[in-house]
Amino acid sequence: MIDKSNLFKVPNSNSNDAKIKKIVYEIDKSFFEKFKKDSTNKEYLCICSGGTTSGCAKDNYITVDLRKNYNKIKFDKKTGIINIGGGVLMDDLLKNLDKFNRTFPIGLSTLPGIGYILTGGVSPLSRRYGLAIDSVITVKGFFGNGEYFSLNKEKIIKEKEHKIMEGIKGAAPFFTIITEIGLKTFKSYPIKIFEGFINKNELEELIIKSEEFPKNMSTQWIFSDQIYIYIVVEIKTEKDKILAEKYTVDLKKYSSLKIRNYKSFNDVRFFPKELNLFELNLSNHSEVISLLGNDLKNNTKDFIAVLSEINFLKPNKSCYVASQQLGCNSNKKK
Ligand SMILES: Cc1cc2nc3c(=O)[nH]c(=O)nc-3n(C[C@H](O)[C@H](O)[C@H](O)COP(=O)(O)OP(=O)(O)OC[C@H]3O[C@@H](n4cnc5c(N)ncnc54)[C@H](O)[C@@H]3O)c2cc1C
């Protein structure tokens, strides 16, 4: 007979296939007691929020699945802070904020859970609003030793708590189980996107141009069998409007780029169907790996040549590069 407690469905194929030891849906002090009583009784835990990585389930590990009991969302109109459970998906976060004309700098996909925020969170809006983790105001959860914590970034006095908060901002998945976070949110403004297929020469030109972009603009491109680019412009201020008009004249030179206008960042979806990619293709076992780099400047041509070589050798369509532009406010320590 199948052990039903081991049936676990997540978007990541590797985790889906893992022969996990047990699933735990509720986490409190008693969960840690049995390990404290017997120090030889050690268990390895995986935490599942969105379940989009191979890190949320492994053979013989216990998975703490936060999606079932830690999925509450509560927005405070007065402070603009939204409290979300450790198992909330970015899709649900945006849907909730949209009711209040607010937004949050999520990444290129709505599929991830709060793992997106806890691992930094690079968004097309990061050049203006910083990384997703920079917007964390409060945090609740447990350390690996079972100790509970509840911290508010704006009310920290003790040096020790300050250090813990810094640690959580840099490496939460390595030593905590986060059950709830409070996030700063932002008023929604219109978004203009220039998007379409481009060739390698155009990519080179556009990367060089984008390295001079103001903070309300960012470039993301997906390099697979073909190259698809998104130049995202947020129009919040009068200055943004003037800049958008200036860049529209310049970008119209690229005849393949279409202009799309959105009421809010919440309405934008990346990963075009025409590229024939899938955000997560269940028939291939894949993992998202993140690399940070500086501006490419004079190295842009060589970079594209190397990327083309690697791309030629890829085994399937689940292997692609999704590049996101950082800089401006995402470079500043918050
Ligand atoms: C299609 C796609 C597009 C993406 N686009 C972007 C992007 O634009 N920008 C970007 O920055 N990233 C992007 N990512 C990467 C993604 O944000 C990370 O892989 C993230 O860790 C996934 O989080 P999750 O909650 O979905 O995954 P999970 O597999 O549930 O968790 C991932 C890791 O975080 C830990 N974790 C999750 N929740 C908690 C918690 N509550 N407490 C403690 N640890 C926890 C887990 O232990 C695990 O190690 C993308 C991923 C995919 C699949």
Place of tokens 């490496």: 171
Residues with CB under 6 A from ligand 1: 46-53, 55-56, 66, 86, 107-109, 111-116, 118-122, 172-173, 176-178, 279-280, 288, 324
Number of domains in the chain: 3
**Strand pairing category for 217-223 and 81-85:** unpaired
Domain of 151: which CATH number? 3.30.465.10
Measured in Å, residue 129 CA sits from the centre of ligand 1 at 19
For residue 160, give every residue at least 6 positions away whose Cβ sits within 8 Å of its Cβ, in sequence order, or none. Answer: none
Residue range 223-276, pLDDT digits in tens: 998 999 999 999 999 999 999 999 999 999 999 999 999 999 999 999 887 777
Of the three residues 128, 152, 187, the one that is the final residue of a domain is: 187
Residues of the domain holding 163? 73-187
Measured in Å, residue 29 CA sits from the centre of ligand 1 at 25
Of the three residues 126, 158, 187, the one that is the final residue of a domain is: 187
Residue range 17-57, pLDDT digits in tens: 899 999 999 998 888 887 777 777 778 899 999 999 999 99
Measured in Å, residue 169 CA sits from the centre of ligand 1 at 14
pTM above 0.85, yes or no: yes
| Domain shared by 176 and 214, yes or no | no
Could you tell me where the beta strands, DSSP code E, fall in the chain? 22-24, 45-48, 62-65, 73-76, 81-85, 102-103, 136-143, 148-152, 176-184, 186-187, 191-198, 217-223, 227-234, 258-262, 321-324
| Domain shared by 109 and 90, yes or no | yes
Question: What one-character DSSP code corresponds to residue 84?
Answer: E
| Domain shared by 61 and 86, yes or no | no
Residue range 179-220, pLDDT digits in tens: 999 999 999 999 999 999 999 999 999 999 999 999 999 999
Task: Report the candidate in 78, 193, 175, 182 with the shortest Cα–Cα distance to residue 137.
Answer: 182
3-class DSSP state for residue 310?
helix
Residue range 304-329, pLDDT digits in tens: 999 999 999 988 878 899 999 998 88
C-alpha span between 283 and 285 (Å, rounded) = 7
Site to substitute for ligand 1 among 31, 52, 70, 292, most atoms within 8 A of C-beta: 52
Closest Cα to atom 1 of ligand 1: 279
Of the three residues 171, 187, 203, the one that is the final residue of a domain is: 187
C-alpha span between 296 and 207 (Å, rounded) = 8
| Domain shared by 296 and 261, yes or no | yes
For residue 78, give every residue at least 6 positions away whose Cβ sits within 8 Å of its Cβ, in sequence order, or none. Answer: none
Measured in Å, residue 126 CA sits from the centre of ligand 1 at 17
| Domain shared by 195 and 310, yes or no | yes
Site to substitute for ligand 1 among 49, 88, 133, most atoms within 8 A of C-beta: 49
